[in-house]
Structure 1
Amino acid sequence: MNVERLNPDGIVSISASVTTGMEDVAATEVKSKILNTSDKHAVTAKQGRVYFKATKKSLSDLHSLRSVDRLYLVIHTVENYVYPESKVAAEEDLSKLASSIDWDSVTQFWRYNLPYLKARSRQEDLGKKPSKKRKVKESAHDVLAGDNSTDDDESGNPMNGSHKHDDIPIEMTALPIVESKAPISFRVSTNRVGKNQPITSPEASYKFGGKIQDITNWKVDLTGYNLEVLLCLGLNSLEVTLALTLQSLHRRNITHFGITTLRPTTAYNMLQLCDIQPGDVVIDPMCGTGAIPIEGALEWPNNFYIAGDIVKAAAKRCRCNVEFLDENVMFGRKFIDKTNRKNLLLDTIRWDTTNLPLKSSSADVIVSDLPFGKRVGSKVDNRKLYPAILQEMARVTRPETGRACLLTQDKRTIIRALSALNQFWTVRKTLSVNIGGLTAGVFLLKRTKNSVQRPHIDEHNSAD
């Protein structure tokens, strides 16, 4: 098996996980912020992943990406890999692979990455006292398989917004950074695609991780690790990567969670699709905890955002999240000096989405995560709700230039509603995305030139 040598001081291959279905959106951000190129071949998109070249000098920019969940250094990859027929032969192949990798170079790049590596934490546990450390097992026999954390890309995470949180304000300081001289404690996580391989995920992790420990003398720590090696056994490929993030980059902004809380990374991708321009008025009429307008106010600060919801608790959570970010600048906005900070250009309101207290043609962009009809509402209710909100959205957006990006798992209902209201909306693009294991749709809409009248409000406004 030929293994290319990793050059940690030169150009390396980076893999980033992203919401499945939004790979092209993430590729656009990578090309503009990391590669400074418009070459469509500069980034390779696969299911739930984007691959590109980078250097150690770009690590700071890598960790500032808004569209991706986790970052990985590609150590070794084999396309068209033929798995041995027997389990013994497969284990021997993995041992040979571990022996041929230059782990000193891997360690060197890992240390380059340490200043940007945030310690693992759960946002819902911020401000709580840390629990007592578990007793660490240091035997190679304890290297287990599978990354069971919820930080992976959305092709395997729990249902979108499965977090639960009380409406209690949270105190927080900056997340701790792993010390540069910290000894290495590691674990191996194996992801197996399909069942054609002669070896299981636990067996692969045990063999591969045990060999790594024999070579490097690194300490095995399944919970308090600071280095994670990921082994992916594809259908006809094999890949070894080093995790450059110990937790997903989507763990930002939100400290007060609801029943369904959208990932900020997914929110960013939806906003990016709308091509937001300076001065745009952006509205999320069903904001929930405010992931979409908060992400927009942080990334596109030269606009004004309005977040509203009919549910009192949801509007309260959104307001609490905004207030928390205004008070804790370092949590959400690395680029704002605390001494010269400005509050987010975002207002929250409680309103009825089907009867918005806004003038006609007053908004430029609408971005919203609609109720799927599972944990919130029902698909029966959606049959009346979707047409009503689409018509009201059409009324408040500017004809011809207005845009909307809507996420829902109830695709049949929204397609019927859009068909009935095609005089107001045209569908520019649809994406099939994986949200917590559910196949949902992202609908990018463009406002037509036809106006929508609501006499009892428009007449009153014209009289003023």
Structure 2
Amino acid sequence: MFFATAGRGTESFLASEIKDKLKAKISFRDGKVFFNKEGINPKELRTILSLKVAERVFVSIADYDNSAFIYGRRKFLDKIMTQLSGKGMYAEADALVKKTNDIICSQREHFDWESKTLQEKNLAKDKTERSEPEEKRARLEVLDCGSQHKDEPKASAESNRVLSEATYNDHLTFRMSIKCSGRLKKRLDIKRLSHDIGWRIEQASGWKIELRKPNIEVCVHINDEHVTVGVPLTRQPLSQRHYIQDSGLRAPVAWIMCYLADIQSGDIVMDPMCGKATVLLEGFSNWQDAFYLGSDISQCQTNSAVQNIAWSGLRIRGDICVADGLNMPYRNCSADVILCDAPFNQNHVISSTPTMFYKSFLQQIHRVLKPEGRCVLLVSEELISEILTQVLNSMSAGEKINDTGQIHPEVSADSVVTQQMASCDCDDSSNTLEKGAVNFEKGSLQRIHKYRLMSSTQGEESHKGASVAQWLASPLRDLQGAFYYGFEPYHRRLSPTEGPKA
């Protein structure tokens, strides 16, 4: 038996992911998803370690209803000691932890080899570039997403180590980690409870207590309803992606946004307020057959995005540019998917009122999205009702874009779908994130502008060396099919006021 922890409100997404990938029986409650998989093999264990919505995955030692034991301290202690006395569950946990260590060690060796190879290629490339004339290199300041991969990801690989090779054949060492809430929190001496439970586990499992540098932790979660005990498979959370150096948005939430958008092969995916490009990186790492375009009004944020992409080592098919999300420089009906963790006056202050901000933003989204395009916005719960009202009032099948690129607001909506993640049954599709998520499909639009269609070869020849952001910004070009031929991923440094030019 395993259980995985997830952010509140994301349990149903984790349950769906486990069900799809492992075909296991599942149940979930209160930030935890339980699943049973008998006779697990290395392939299935790798699948567990690749879960995208999970924070951490545990081998379950004990899980029982605690509601009958919260009123008497002695009854509670007798129950938990009895539950932790069996030896079979520790043998299973021991075997799974060691299997996980073998997988992680092999992945680390492979990752280190790839990093060394990439560094050697980049060193040779840097020498070649230094031999070129200065005028040629100064013509366009370009940053290749792969050429900046200078730091070995040793911190991630090392921190995700479960066992060291030196202790592989020895007894596992452990320490206790207890979290208690509810009525029992005031009645229990956590320090003494940790000592007593640790002694009982040591006797039953044969593991040794080590407080400073243990191989594993035994985690105990106690509340008025349940007691859950488990051993995490990895030291670091699965949500800490090895390919993201500086995460702005939490990676599981970014993955859920991409999942809701239903990214398809060949889609153009935009994030008009990309920040550090967490959403774009998460999208590309899982849906690689799409083209990703990120922009932000802040030069500092786009620099961070480029550094993140460079550090990841992923050869992303996409572009990063400086642009205002409220005045997107892209042609009408050019994006298949728009993803955005929009500001809502907390970490990032908006210049106008939320009503005016989202009115302008939704108009731009509606203009840039293709007919039947998809958009997923991450917003605060307080703004969901207001944003949905604006969506309903601004979208209609008969809506037109005028010659200035502005939308004629008309009434009624063509298609609006709200995804709300709350604690609910797994089969319930109306679920919503902690901050809330708005996911809607755009109705059909009549195009006023006429675009000159260009073949993929014409597009590649005409725009060799030009950024895809500039390509999309041109009102006389249609990118249909052109980006399949792979513009090299790079970032052109633009001043905050310049933006991509047509």
Q: Retained in 1: the 8 A contact 2:272–2:294?
A: yes
- Is 2:221 the partner of 1:232? yes
Q: Retained in 2: the 8 A contact 1:363–1:402?
A: yes
The number of residues matched between the two structures is: 379
**Given the superposition, is the C-alpha separation of residues 454 and 416 from structure 1 closer, same or farther in structure 2, using an over 3 Å criterion?**
farther
Deviations 1:122-150 (A, max 9, x none): xxxxx9xxxxxxxxxxxxxxxxxxxxxxx
Structure-to-structure mapping, 1:146-157, within 5 angstroms: none
Q: CA deviation at 1:169?
A: 7.0
Distance 1:246 1:382 in 2: 41
The residue type paired with residue 97 of structure 1 is Q
Q: CA deviation at 1:92?
A: 3.3
| Stretch deviating more after TM superposition (101-110 or 51-60) | 101-110
Distance 1:408 1:379 in 2: 17
Secondary structure of 2:76's aligned partner: helix
Q: CA deviation at 1:439?
A: 4.2
**What is the aligned partner in structure 1 of residue 355 from structure 2?**
383
Distance 1:254 1:271 in 2: 17
Deviations 1:350-406 (A, max 9, x none): 10101112111111111111113111115954332211111101111112x111111
Structure-to-structure mapping, 1:186-201, within 5 angstroms: 186-196=174-184, 198-199=187-188, 201=190
Specify which of 95, 105, 108 is matched with residue 95 of structure 2: 108
**Given the superposition, is the C-alpha separation of residues 247 and 301 from structure 1 closer, same or farther in structure 2, using an over 3 Å criterion?**
same
Secondary structure of 2:329's aligned partner: coil
**What is the aligned partner in structure 1 of residue 8 from structure 2?**
20
Q: Retained in 2: the 8 A contact 1:253–1:294?
A: no
Give me the CA root mean square deviation: 3.4
Q: Retained in 2: the 8 A contact 1:169–1:320?
A: no
Distance 1:362 1:459 in 2: 9
Deviations 1:38-78 (A, max 9, x none): xxxx3323232222222431111110122211101122222
Q: Retained in 1: the 8 A contact 2:171–2:206?
A: no
- Is 2:342 the partner of 1:370? yes
Distance 1:97 1:239 in 2: 10
Higher Rg of the two aligned structures: 2
- Is 2:198 the partner of 1:213? no
Distance 1:84 1:381 in 2: 48
Unaligned runs of 5+ in 1: 1-12, 120-126, 128-166, 330-342
**Given the superposition, is the C-alpha separation of residues 427 and 181 from structure 1 closer, same or farther in structure 2, using an over 3 Å criterion?**
farther
Specify which of 82, 92, 97 is matched with residue 83 of structure 2: 97
Q: CA deviation at 1:100?
A: 2.9
- Is 2:335 the partner of 1:352? no
The residue type paired with residue 187 of structure 1 is R
**What is the aligned partner in structure 2 of residue 315 from structure 1?**
302
The residue type paired with residue 194 of structure 2 is S
Q: Retained in 2: the 8 A contact 1:426–1:446?
A: yes
**What is the aligned partner in structure 1 of residue 277 from structure 2?**
290
- Is 2:449 the partner of 1:461? no
Distance 2:152 2:244 in 1: 10
**What is the aligned partner in structure 2 of residue 67 from structure 1?**
53
Deviations 1:279-325 (A, max 9, x none): 11111111111111111111111110111111111111111111122
Deviations 1:403-457 (A, max 9, x none): 11111125325345334424377431232479xxx941011111122458799xx
Q: Retained in 2: the 8 A contact 1:229–1:242?
A: yes
**What is the aligned partner in structure 2 of residue 51 from structure 1?**
34
Structure-to-structure mapping, 1:53-452, within 5 angstroms: 53-54=36-37, 55-57=39-41, 58-79=44-65, 81-83=67-69, 85-102=71-88, 103-117=90-104, 170-173=151-154, 175-176=157-158, 177=161, 178=163, 179=165, 180-181=168-169, 183-196=171-184, 198-199=187-188, 201-216=190-205, 218-253=207-242, 255-257=244-246, 261-326=248-313, 343-378=315-350, 381-399=353-371, 401-409=372-380, 411-412=382-383, 413-423=386-396, 426-432=415-421, 439-450=434-445
Distance 1:244 1:295 in 2: 22
The residue type paired with residue 188 of structure 1 is M
Q: CA deviation at 1:215?
A: 4.1
**Given the superposition, is the C-alpha separation of residues 346 and 223 from structure 1 closer, same or farther in structure 2, using an over 3 Å criterion?**
farther
Distance 2:349 2:78 in 1: 53
Distance 1:104 1:459 in 2: 61
Distance 1:213 1:227 in 2: 13
Secondary structure of 1:368's aligned partner: strand
Distance 2:171 2:96 in 1: 15
**Given the superposition, is the C-alpha separation of residues 257 and 224 from structure 1 closer, same or farther in structure 2, using an over 3 Å criterion?**
same
**What is the aligned partner in structure 2 of residue 149 from structure 1?**
none
Q: CA deviation at 1:234?
A: 3.0
Q: Retained in 2: the 8 A contact 1:186–1:221?
A: yes
Q: CA deviation at 1:221?
A: 3.4
Q: CA deviation at 1:265?
A: 1.6
Secondary structure of 2:157's aligned partner: coil
**What is the aligned partner in structure 2 of residue 148 from structure 1?**
none
Q: Retained in 2: the 8 A contact 1:433–1:442?
A: no
The residue type paired with residue 385 of structure 1 is F
Distance 2:192 2:219 in 1: 14
Distance 2:87 2:416 in 1: 49
Secondary structure of 1:360's aligned partner: coil
Q: Retained in 2: the 8 A contact 1:76–1:241?
A: yes
Secondary structure of 1:20's aligned partner: coil
Distance 1:278 1:369 in 2: 23
Q: Retained in 1: the 8 A contact 2:87–2:205?
A: no
Distance 1:43 1:409 in 2: 30
Distance 1:379 1:73 in 2: 48
